[in-house]
Amino acid sequence: MLAVEGVTAGYGRATILDGIDLAIPEGGGLALLGRNGVGKTTLIRTLMGLTDRTAGRILWRGRDVAGLPAAERVRLGLGWVPQERRIFRTLSVQENLEVAARPGPWDLARVYALLPRLAERRANQGWQLSGGEQQLLALGRALMLNPDLLLLDEPLEGLAPVMVDVVLDAIRELAGTGLALVMVEQHAADALELTGHAVVMDRGRIVARAGSAALLADPARIVELTGL
C-alpha cells in the first residue's frame, strides 16, 4: 500500500530524517518506536506532506505522491490523528465530525457506534471535552475521512488510565476491520499488541526492524532497542 524509499526530510535547513525505507502492505499494521526526539513525528508529518523533503520517494499504491499537498493525500486515502489533536474548539462534537465527512463506510452512525462517548457528547463544543474525549474526537474525525491507512501519532499521550483503555479498544477494533495502521507510541507494548511489524528509530534513521509479536515476547529487547 505505502512504500517509503530513501526519504530524507526535515524543516528548512534542519534535516531530521535520513534515508528512511519502509513498507506497509494493504491492511497491515506498523509500530513506530523510539525515544522522544528521534524523528517519529517528523516521519508521520512527512507522509502527510507537511515537511521539507529533500530526497527519496513516497509511493502510494505504486504512485509517487511525494510532491502532492496534504489535502490530496487525504483524498487518496491517508488519514492522520495528530499528537496535538487539532479539533475545532468552538464547533460541537457533531460539527467536528461532519466537517471532515467524505463518502464511504464511515459515517456518523458508525463513528458513534465505535465511540459512544462522542454520541453522548455530540452537542458539546470541543473546548468542553476532556483530554481523552478530545482524543476520541480526533480519531472519529479521521475516520470520517474514510481512510485506507490511519497514522496515529501518540494517541495515548496524557490520557487517564480509563481513557487509555477506551482508545486502545477502539484502535483494536479498527485493526480488526482491515484498516491499515501506523502507530507511534511511547507505550511500546500497546503499539506492538495492535500491529504486525515494528521499526525502531534513532537519530532520524531506522535502526531495527522486527515482528511485533517477537518483540512483545522479549521485553528486554524492547528496552535495549528503545530505552523505553
Give the whole-angstrom CA distance, residue 183 versus residue 43. Answer: 11
Kindly give the confidence (pLDDT) of every residue in the chain, 228 residues in length, as a single tens digit, with 9 standing for 90 and above.
999 999 999 999 999 999 999 999 999 999 999 988 899 999 999 999 999 999 999 999 999 999 999 999 999 999 999 988 889 999 999 999 999 999 999 999 999 999 999 999 999 999 999 999 999 999 999 999 999 999 999 999 988 899 999 999 999 999 989 899 999 988 899 999 999 999 999 999 999 999 999 999 998 988 888 876
Cell numbers of 195, please?
500491529
Domain count across the chain: 1
Determine the residue type at 118.
Answer: L
Q: Give me the residue label for grid cell 511489524.
A: 197
Domain of residue 69, CATH code: 3.40.50.300
pLDDT score recorded for residue 120: 96
pLDDT score recorded for residue 104: 94
Closest CA to 8 of 225, 215, 203, 214: 203
pLDDT score recorded for residue 84: 86
The strand pair at 63-64 and 52-60 is best described as antiparallel
Structural domain of residue 171, as residue ranges?
2-226
